[in-house]
Structure 1
Amino acid sequence: MRTPPSPRGRALAAILRRARAAAAHLEAVHSLGSSSSDPIFVPLPDLPGSKSSPAARGCGPHASPPPPAAAHLAPAALSRNFTPPCAVTVGQGAAAGQCPPRPLRRLAARCDPLALTPSHSPAYFFCQLLLRSGGFVRNRLHGAFRYLLKWKCYEQKQYKNGLKFCKMILSNPKFTEHGETLAMKGLTLNCLGKKEEAYEFVRKGLRNDVKSWHVYGLLQRSDKKYDEAIKCYRNALKLDKDNLQILRDLSLLQIQMRDLEGYRETRYQLLQLRPTQRASWIGYAIAYHLLKDYDMALKLLEEFRQTQQIPPSKIDYEYSELILYQNQVMREADLFQESLEHIETYEKQICDKLLVEEIKGEMLLKLGRLNEASEVFKNLIDRNAENWCYYEGLEKALQLSTLEERLQIYEEISKQHPRAISPRRLSLNLVPGEKFRERVDKFLRVNFSKGCPPLFTTLKSLYYNTEKVSIIQDLVTNYEASLKTCDLFSPYDKGEKEPPTTLLWVQYFLAQHFDKLGQYSLALDYINAAITSTPTLIELFYMKAKIYKHIGNLREAAKWMDEAQSLDTADRFINSKCAKYLLRANMIKEAEEMCSKFTREGTSAMENLNEMQCMWFQTECISAYQRLGRYGDALKKCHEVERHFFEITDDQFDFHTYCMRKMTLRAYVDLLRLEDVLRRHTFYFKAARSAIEIYLKLYDSPLANESKQQEINSENLSAKELKKILSKQRRAQKKAKLEEERKHAERERQQKNQKKKRDEEEEEASSLKEELIPEKLERIENPLEEAIKFLIPLKNLVADNIDTHLLAFEIYFRKGKFLLMLQSVKRAFAINSNNPWLHECLIKFSKSVSNHSNLPDIVSKVLFQEMQKIFVNKDLESFNEDFLKRNATSLQHLLSGAKMMYFLDKSRQEKAIAVATRLDETIKDKNVKTLIKVSEALLDGSFGNCNSQYEEYRMACHNLLPFTSAFLPAVNEVDVHSAALNHKANYDVLANEI
C-alpha cells in the first residue's frame, strides 16, 4: 500500500505543477507570436503561491503594484529594453493603449522580455521568474529552486543548464555570494572535469553558507577521497542531524571504507528515522553480521521477518533470500541445530531446493546424525552423480573404514547411474596394484571407444603415484600396438573391431602422457602420428603446440597454435590461446592482431582489451615487454592492471544500495568479503611482482635521458660516423612521426565511432585519468617508492607467499632499512627456511650488517640476537657450505649456493661455476625452467665474466634438450644473450605445466 504524500510534498508538487503550466503557457505564446505580427494576449495560469482573490491575482482596484525592485533586478544591459507593464505586448506592431490581461501584466513586470525567447527551456523561464519575483529566498520558491537545480540539472546530468542557472542567480546583486548556488556550481564544474575551479567554488560556497558541507562531501567522494568525504558528512550532520540523504551517503562511504562501527551507528539512526523501510532493518542487521555479533543480527532479522506478510503456500524470491541469509548467519554462529530446524521450517518457501538439501546434509553431519545425513547425500547423488563433494559427504556419513566397504558403495552407485563417470573415477584413487590395473583398464577402454578428449585431464591427478603411472603407460602402449595390428585393445579380445578413431585418441593420450613425464621426443612422435592420420582435428595441433611450449621452443609452439586457430577462426578459446602463445614468443604485434578478430571494430585491440579489463592478456604483455627490455611499456601495463583492481573495488559502491533493495543479501556479503581480499588474485600478484622487479632494475641501472645519451655517444665519433648516425636518427624520427600521426588518426576515428547521440541538455561526466606514458614511467625519479606502492597490498593480503617478503627485502636492502630487512627475512624464514632465494637474501643481509659499523647500539643488538637464531653461530662460508650439502641434488639450490660462494669469495669462480653447472644423474630438477635460469646467471654477471663456460654449458644443455630454443647455437653475441633472456619471466608457467 502506497504511503500518502506529506503536506509539504503536496505543496511542493502543487508549486511545480503551476510552474510547468506557466512555462507551457509561455511556450504557447511564443509559438503563436512567431507566426504573426499582431499582438497576442493569452490568459496565464496561476503562478506559484498565487491565491484565488482578485487582489492577489493582480485584478481589481486593490491590485498590488509591481515590486519596486523589479526594475533593478534585470541586468543593466537589458534595462533599456524593459517594457512598462501598461504597454507590454508579445509580438510586433502592438496598438498603443492596448493592455494585456492582468496576469500577463504582472508577469511582464517581473520578467525581462529579451529572456523570453523560444530558444529557452521552460526551466530557464521558471528560474528567471523566480529571480524577478523577489521570492527566491522564500521557502516554497527556494524548494522549487533546489528541485530544479539539483534534481533537474545535477541528477539528470544536464550540467550546461545547471551552469546557466547558477550564472543567472549569481549575476543578481542580491545573490552573488549565495553559498548553496556557489557550491552547486562547483559540483557541476567537477562533473565537467574542471576540478580546480570546482574546489574553488565549493570552498567559497562553504564560507558563505556553512550548510554546504554535504556538497563538499559529494565533491570529495567523486575524487575517491572517502575519508575526507566522511568528515564532510559528519560536519553536515552537526547542522542537520536528521537529514536522511546525508545519513544514507555517510553509510555508503562507511561500508565502502569498512568502518563497521560507524556504519552500525549510522544505520541505527536511519532505522530510527525510517522504521517502516525495509533497507533500514536489513542494513542494521548486516552491520551486526559483519561485526560478528551474530545474536543481535539474528534478532533483527527475525524481527523484520515477522513483519513480512507472506502466505506459507506462496514462494517469494526476496523472502526466500531473506530466509537463506538468516540461515547463513546461524551457520556462521555455529548454531547448527537452530539452522537445521530453521531450514526445515521454511523449506517450502525457499526457491533454491538444491541448497536446502546441501544445508541439511552439512548440518546433519555437524550434529552427528549420520544415518539421516547419508540419506540426504544419496538423494543429492541421485540428483547430480558428478559432484565429488557429495561422495565425500556420503563417506563421512557412512563412516566407512575398510577399502572393501568404500569400493562397494561406489559399485552400487555405478550400477544405479551407469552413465556417471565420477564413481568409477573416484574408486581409482583407492585401489593399488592389480586391482587398480583391472579397474583402470575398464575405465580407459570405455572412454577410448567413446572418444573422450579430456580423458587424460581426468586421470592427471593420479600421476603423483609412480606405480599407477607405470600401469597406465603399460596398458595404453599395449592398446596402441594392438590397435595398429588388429583393431582391438588386445589380440585376445573377441567381439567387434574398434573404429579408426580409437587409435587416434590412444595416440593423443600417449602424447599427453609422455609430455607430463618430460619425455618430449616420444610425445612428439605420438602427436605427429595422430596428425598424419587426422590432420583436421584442432585438439592435435593444440597439443603439439603445448609440447613445444614445455620443451622451451616458444616460437615453434606459437606456430602450431596458429595452425590450430586457422582450423576454426570462430573459436574464441583457441584464438585466446594463440594470442597467449604469441606473447610468450615475444610476438606482441602479432598477438594484438590475433585478438583484434574478437574485439570491437574500428578500435585498437590493445585499447579495447584494456577497456574490457582483459587481464590475462595484459599480464602476458607485461612479461613479454619485460623480456624485451621495454620497461616503460611493461610498467604501463602494470599500472593498467592496478587501475582495474581499483575500479573493481570502486564499483562495489553501486551495490551497497542495490543489494538491499533487491534482497540479494548472501551475494552481497560474499561480495564484501571478496573485495576485502581482492588483491590476492594471481593477476594482481603477477603485475605487482613484475612492477617491483622492473623498478629494482631501474634503480640499479637507471636509464639516461635520451638527449644526454645521444650527446655521450657522439663525443668520440668521427665526422663520417656522426653523419651516418644523425641520418639514421632523422629516419627514425620521421618513422616515429608517421607512426604518431597514424595513432592520432586512429584515436580520432575511435572517438568518432564511440560518440553517441545525446540530447544537447545532457552531458556525461568526464573522468580524467592521468595518461600513462612509457618514456616517463621508465625514467621515474624514485623507483623504490613506486615499488613500495605495489608491495603494500601484497604484504597485507599475500603474506603467506614467500616471494612477497623476499621482494620486500630487495626493496629495503637498496634503501638501507635494516630492521625492515630483518622483518622480511624472518617472515620468509617462517614460511620456508630452505628456499634458495631466501638463502641469497640471508647472506647479503648478514654481509651488509657486518659492513655497517655505525649502526645505533640498540639496532645492532637486535640484529645480532635475531641473526644468531638463523645462522646458529656459523660464519657465512660455513653456512653456505652446509646449504649446498643439504641440497646436493637440487639444481635450484645449487645455483643459489654457487652464487653466494662467488659473492663471498671472488677467487672461487671456477668452483662456483662447477657447482652451478652440474648435470649428472643425481640432479633431480633438470627441467627447462631451471636450466635456463642457470644459463642466465652465467650471462648476467652473477659469476663474473664466464663466456667460455657459458658456451660449454649451452652445448651440454642442447644435447639434453635439443628442441629448446634458448640452447640452440647462436650466430653472434647478441643472440647469445637474447636466446636465454627472451624466456625470462616464464618460469612460473613452465613450473606449473611440467
Structure 2
Amino acid sequence: MPSSDPLAPKEGALFRKILKCYEMKQYKNGLKLAKQILANPKYTEHGETLAMKGLTLNGLGRREEAYKYVRLGLRNDLRSHVCWHVYGLLQRSDKKYDEAIKCYRNALKWEKDNLQILKDLSLLQIQMRDLEGYKETRHHLFTLRPSQHASWIGFAMSYHLLGDYEMANNILETFSQSQTSIEAHDYRHSELLLYQSQILIESSHLQQALEHLKKYESQIVDKLAVRETMGDLYIKLQQPEKAVPIFDALIRRNPENVLYYEQYLIARQVSEASEKVALFREFQAKYPRALCPRRLPLNIATGDAFREVTDEYLRRGLRKGIPPLFVNVRALHQQVDKAKTIEALALQYFENLTRSGHFSREDADAGAPVEPASALVWTALFLAQHYDYMRDTDRALECINVAIDHTPTLIELLITKGRIFKHAGDAVEAYIWLDEAQSMDTADRYINSKCAKYMLRANMIQEAEEICAKFTREGVSAMDNLNEMQCMWFQTECALAYQRMGRWGEALKKCHEVDRHFAEIIEDQFDFHTYCMRKMTLRAYVGLLRLEDVLRRHPFYFKAAKCAIEVYIRLYDKPLKSEATIEEIDIENLPPSELKKLRSKQRKAKKKAELESAQAAQAQVKREQHQKSKQQATQETDPDAPQLDELVPEKLERTDEPLEKAIEFLKPLQQLAKDRIETHLLAFEVYYRKNKPLLMLQSIRRARAINSAHPELHSCIVRFMKALKADSDQRRCNAHVQQVLDKANQELIGTKTPQQLNDEFIAKNNASILHLYEGARGLYELDASKKDAAINLITSFDLSKLRLEEAIKIYMALRDGDVFGECEAKAAAYKQACHNRFQYARIFRNVEELEAQLQEKVAAKLRAEQEQQLNHLDVSESAGMADAAF
C-alpha cells in the first residue's frame, strides 16, 4: 500500500536504504541517511522518516530521543502503517507487549496484508497467550503464504493450543500429504510426524495414534520415542502382551530407567509382590551392574522378603562405600516396620564388623572373606544418618563420632555431623563442621555451596559471600555475580537470613531479585517462538510453553514470594520510624541518667554508621563501575533491553503501600500455587489487614477445600468472625454482599458464637500443640483478660511430645510479644524447659554459655595449631641432625 505521505524518488531510495541499514544493524549510517531526508525543507516533518530515525536511535541506546522522534512521526502521519509498526517495535523493546499489540493492530488497519507486521503480531500474541488472536493471525498468514511450511505449522499449532485437536490433526495430515519429496533421515519431517502423534494421543485417539506411528515408523528418526510411545499405547489399549517385548528391549537399552520397569510390570500384569520381586531377581541376574533392579524391590517387598532384599542391597552399598546409600533408602522410613528392619540390620552389621569384620555371624562361621575396613566407617555413617532422620541426636552423634575417630579425613562424615547439628537446632555448630569439611577440599563446588548455605542458616551472610567468591568471577563482588548467574538458592537463603535478622530492606531486595529472574525467564522464551517453528522442534516447543505457563509454581519463587509477603505484612503492622522521630520521643520521655546513656549509644551508633556508610560508598562505586560495564555489554549484545530500576533496600522497606506490594507477590501464587494451603493463609493475612471481607472469605474457603483440619485455618475463621462482628454496625454493605457474608457465617460456625467454636476446637484437638497454639491465640484474641489461661494452655503441654520446630514457634511467640503481648517471665520459664528437652538447640541456650563454648573452641584450635607447629619443628630438627650425622 502506498504511503499517505509519499517521498520523491531520490528520498524514497534513501528511505529504503535506511530500512536496509536498520536490518543490517548499521545504525549510524541509517541515522545519516535520515538526516539527509529531513534536511530537505519539503520533508522536515515526514512522519515515516522521523519514526525510522527514532527506531535507529533506539538501536544506539538513546531511548528517550527514540520515543520523542517516533511519537513526533506518528503525530505527523497517523495513517501510516510504518509509523505504527515502528512504535510497536519500540514498545516491544521495552517489554510493553500489550501496548505493542495495539500498535500492530493499528498498523494492520492501514495495511492488513503486511507479512512482517502479521508475523510480529503473532509472536506477541503467543507470548501473551492471546490464543484466539494468535489463531486469527496465523490463519491470515496461512491464506497469504500457503506454500510456506511455517504457515501450515503455525496454523495447526494455534488450534492445538486451543484444544481443537481434530482441526490441528487435519491441517497436519493435509500438509503431510502435500509433501512430495522426503529425504532419508529428515529430522524436521520426523519431528512433525511425532508432533502429530502427540496431538492424536492428547485427543484420546489412541488407536489412530498407534496406526500413525506404525505407518510412518520408517520415516521417524527418533526410534526411542517411537518405541516408548508405542509401548505406552499398547498398555492403554488393553494389549499388554504386545508391550512386553518393547519394554524388555528398552530395559536392555537402559537398565537404570525406573519408568521402564514400572511399565514392564504393568504389561506383564503382575500384581503379587512376590512375583514382582522374582521378576526383579531375573533382571538382577541379567544386569548385575544396574542399581534399579536392586533398589526397586525394596518398595514392593514386605516382611521377610523385605528383610532379605534390603540385606542384600545394604551389604552391597556398605561394602562398596556408596555415599548416598541412606538417601536411596530414606523414603522407606515413612513405613515404621521397614524403618525398624533397616535399623536392626544396620546395628547387626556394626556389631559384627566391630567384632569379626563380617556383616553377620553366619559369614564369620562359614569362613567368608573379611569385609574391607572401610565397611565399618560407612556402616557407622549410615547409622548416624538413620538416627538423625529419626531425630535421635545423641545416638546420631555417638555413631558419627565413632566414624570420625576411625577415618577423620572422610569429608562425608564432617558434612553429616554438620547436618545432625542443623537438625538439632544449632546452626552455628553445623556451619563449623561444614567449614571444616570445605577446608579439606577447597576445589569442590558442592561442598563450597553447602558450606555457604549453612552459613546463611546461621545468619553469617558476609562469610557466605566470601566463601562463594572462590567460584565467582574475579573483579566483581560475589553477591552481584551470583545475581547475574540467577543463583536463586543463594538469594532465597539470603532473604530468609535478612528476615530473621530484621533487615527488612535487604530481605525485600533479594526477593525482588528472584522475582526479576522469573520475569527474565518468561521473557527469554520470546526468542524460541520463531526458532522452534523453523527448526521443527515442535514437541519441545509445546512443552516449553506449558512450562512457562506454570513457571512461578517453582519452589524458589514460592519461598521468595512468601518471604516478601511476610516482610510487607510486618512493615504494615510495625512501620519503620525515622531516626529523628525516635530521638524526639526518647528525649521527651527519658530521665537525665537514661538520656546520657542514650546520647553515648547514639554517638557509638553514629560512628558505626559512618564507617558502614564509607564501606557502602566504596562498594557502591565498585557496583556502579560493574553496572556500567554490564550495561555497555548489554547494549552491544541487546540494545533493545530495557534498563531496570536499582533495588535500594532503604526505599523498599519504607514503601507507602506495603500491602499492595505484598499483593504483587501474592497474585502469581493464587494462580499457580493454589493447591498449597500456605498461599490462601497468606492471602487471608493480607486481606484481613485491608479489611476486605469477601476476599477474606474467599481465602478461607479455598484453604478449607485443601485441608479443613489445618490449625492456622481456625485462627483465620475466628478473626474473620470477630472482624464481621466489629464492623457490622459501622459498615453498610450492599444487600447482596451482606447476604453472602451471612451465609458464610452460617456455614462456618452455624449458631455458635466464636467463643464456643474456639472452646470446642481446643477440646477436640488437645493432643496437638499446633492446634492448641491456634486455640490459645483465638482465646486471647476474643478476650484479652484470658491471657494467662491462653499461655498456660500451650506451656503446660508435654514437651516430650513436641518437635523442635513446634517448640521454637511457641517460644518466639512468647518472646516477641506479637501474639500474647508482653510475657517475659513466661517466655524465660518456657525457654529453660525447652533447653532441658532440646539440649543442642541454640535458641534455648544462654548467651554466656555459648560465649564460653566459643572461647574454649578457639583456645583448642590455637593449641592444635601450636602442637602442629611444634611437631613440624621436631621433624625438621630430627632431619637436620640426621643430615649432620650422615
Normalised to the residue count of structure 1, the TM-score between the two structures is: 0.81
902, 914, 920: which one pairs with 2:780?
902
Q: Label 1:957 to 1:227 Cα distance change in 2 as closer, same or farther (>3 A).
A: same
1:793-872 equivalences under 5 Å are 793-852=668-727, 853-855=729-731, 856=733, 857-872=735-750
Q: Deviations over 1:54-85 (max 9, x none)?
A: xxxxxxxxxxxxxxxxxxxxxxxxxxxxxxxx
What is the alpha-carbon distance in structure 2 between the residues aligned to residue 246 and residue 902 of structure 1?
Answer: 64
**Cα shift at 1:919:** 4.3
What is the alpha-carbon distance in structure 2 between the residues aligned to residue 660 and residue 763 of structure 1?
Answer: 22
Aligned: 1:739 with 2:591:
no
Q: What is the identity, as a one-letter code, of the residue corresponding to 1:172?
A: N
**Cα shift at 1:757:** 9.2
Sequence identity percentage: 53
Partner in structure 1 of residue 869 of structure 2: none
Q: Deviations over 1:98-128 (max 9, x none)?
A: xxxxxxxxxxxxxxxxxxxxxxxxxxxxxxx
What is the alpha-carbon distance in structure 1 between the residues aligned to residue 743 and residue 202 of structure 2?
Answer: 43
Partner in structure 1 of residue 840 of structure 2: 963
Q: What is the identity, as a one-letter code, of the residue corresponding to 1:769?
A: L
Q: What is the identity, as a one-letter code, of the residue corresponding to 1:188?
A: T
Q: Deviations over 1:145-172 (max 9, x none)?
A: 23432331x3444444444443343233
1:752-771 equivalences under 5 Å are 764-765=639-640, 767-771=642-646
940, 954, 957: which one pairs with 2:816?
940
**Cα shift at 1:914:** 2.1
**Cα shift at 1:502:** 0.6
Report SS of the residue matched to 1:788. Answer: helix
Q: Label 1:478 to 1:758 Cα distance change in 2 as closer, same or farther (>3 A).
A: closer
**1:286·1:297 contact (CA, 8 Å) conserved in 2?**
yes
Partner in structure 1 of residue 197 of structure 2: 327
**Cα shift at 1:829:** 1.3
Partner in structure 1 of residue 502 of structure 2: 629
What is the alpha-carbon distance in structure 2 between the residues aligned to residue 756 and residue 206 of structure 1?
Answer: 30
**Cα shift at 1:528:** 1.4
Corresponding residue pairs, total: 836
What is the alpha-carbon distance in structure 2 between the residues aligned to residue 293 and residue 895 of structure 1?
Answer: 52
**1:315·1:348 contact (CA, 8 Å) conserved in 2?**
no
Larger displacement relative to structure 2 (940-949 or 669-678) = 940-949
1:153-302 equivalences under 5 Å are 154-209=22-77, 210-211=79-80, 212-302=83-173
**Cα shift at 1:194:** 4.7
**1:254·1:260 contact (CA, 8 Å) conserved in 2?**
yes
Q: Label 1:851 to 1:440 Cα distance change in 2 as closer, same or farther (>3 A).
A: same
Larger radius of gyration: 1
What is the alpha-carbon distance in structure 2 between the residues aligned to residue 974 and residue 906 of structure 1?
Answer: 39
Report SS of the residue matched to 2:147. Answer: coil
Q: Label 1:231 to 1:958 Cα distance change in 2 as closer, same or farther (>3 A).
A: same
Report SS of the residue matched to 1:561. Answer: helix
What is the alpha-carbon distance in structure 2 between the residues aligned to residue 643 and residue 756 of structure 1?
Answer: 20
1:193-592 equivalences under 5 Å are 193-209=61-77, 210-211=79-80, 212-311=83-182, 314-493=184-363, 494=366, 495-592=368-465
1:587-666 equivalences under 5 Å are 587-666=460-539
905, 909, 913: which one pairs with 2:791?
913
Q: Deviations over 1:888-919 (max 9, x none)?
A: 22211111111211222223223222221244
What is the alpha-carbon distance in structure 2 between the residues aligned to residue 898 and residue 674 of structure 1?
Answer: 43
What is the alpha-carbon distance in structure 2 between the residues aligned to residue 232 and residue 644 of structure 1?
Answer: 28
Report SS of the residue matched to 1:492. Answer: helix
Partner in structure 1 of residue 626 of structure 2: 750
What is the alpha-carbon distance in structure 1 between the residues aligned to residue 628 and residue 821 of structure 2?
Answer: 56
**Cα shift at 1:813:** 0.9
**1:159·1:763 contact (CA, 8 Å) conserved in 2?**
no
Q: What is the identity, as a one-letter code, of the residue corresponding to 2:14?
A: F
Q: Label 1:348 to 1:539 Cα distance change in 2 as closer, same or farther (>3 A).
A: farther
1:704-743 equivalences under 5 Å are 704-715=577-588, 724=600, 727-728=603-604, 730-743=606-619
What is the alpha-carbon distance in structure 1 between the residues aligned to residue 603 and residue 768 of structure 2?
Answer: 53
Q: Label 1:147 to 1:525 Cα distance change in 2 as closer, same or farther (>3 A).
A: farther
What is the alpha-carbon distance in structure 1 between the residues aligned to residue 490 and residue 637 of structure 2?
Answer: 36
What is the alpha-carbon distance in structure 2 between the residues aligned to residue 722 and residue 456 of structure 1?
Answer: 55
**1:275·1:281 contact (CA, 8 Å) conserved in 2?**
yes
Normalised to the residue count of structure 2, the TM-score between the two structures is: 0.90
Q: Label 1:826 to 1:311 Cα distance change in 2 as closer, same or farther (>3 A).
A: closer
Report SS of the residue matched to 2:486. Answer: coil
Partner in structure 1 of residue 765 of structure 2: 887
Q: Deviations over 1:830-884 (max 9, x none)?
A: 1111111111110001011111123324433321221211213222222112222
789, 804, 811: which one pairs with 2:664?
789
Q: What is the identity, as a one-letter code, of the residue corresponding to 1:395?
A: L
Q: Label 1:278 to 1:969 Cα distance change in 2 as closer, same or farther (>3 A).
A: same
Q: Deviations over 1:416-474 (max 9, x none)?
A: 22222322322222332222222222222222112222211121121122112111111
What is the alpha-carbon distance in structure 2 between the residues aligned to residue 168 and residue 720 of structure 1?
Answer: 74
**Cα shift at 1:766:** 5.9
Report SS of the residue matched to 1:834. Answer: coil
Q: Label 1:678 to 1:177 Cα distance change in 2 as closer, same or farther (>3 A).
A: same
Structure 1: 5+ residue runs without aligned partners? Answer: 1-7, 9-134, 976-994
**1:364·1:372 contact (CA, 8 Å) conserved in 2?**
yes
**Cα shift at 1:287:** 0.5
Q: What is the identity, as a one-letter code, of the residue corresponding to 1:950?
A: A
What is the alpha-carbon distance in structure 2 between the residues aligned to residue 730 and residue 696 of structure 1?
Answer: 29
Q: Deviations over 1:666-703 (max 9, x none)?
A: 11111111111111111111111111111111111111
What is the alpha-carbon distance in structure 2 between the residues aligned to residue 378 and residue 763 of structure 1?
Answer: 50
Partner in structure 2 of residue 56 of structure 1: none
**Cα shift at 1:769:** 1.2
**1:635·1:778 contact (CA, 8 Å) conserved in 2?**
yes
What is the alpha-carbon distance in structure 2 between the residues aligned to residue 650 and residue 290 of structure 1?
Answer: 19
950, 967, 980: which one pairs with 2:827?
950
Q: Label 1:136 to 1:206 Cα distance change in 2 as closer, same or farther (>3 A).
A: closer
**1:695·1:786 contact (CA, 8 Å) conserved in 2?**
yes
**1:160·1:763 contact (CA, 8 Å) conserved in 2?**
no
**1:193·1:768 contact (CA, 8 Å) conserved in 2?**
no
Partner in structure 1 of residue 14 of structure 2: 145
Larger displacement relative to structure 2 (154-163 or 601-610) = 154-163
**Cα shift at 1:192:** 4.8
**1:158·1:762 contact (CA, 8 Å) conserved in 2?**
no
Backbone CA RMSD of aligned residues:
2.6
* Higher helix proportion (structure 1 or 2): 2
Q: Deviations over 1:717-741 (max 9, x none)?
A: 7686676456435524532442133
What is the alpha-carbon distance in structure 1 between the residues aligned to residue 20 and residue 840 of structure 2?
Answer: 69
Q: Label 1:867 to 1:763 Cα distance change in 2 as closer, same or farther (>3 A).
A: closer
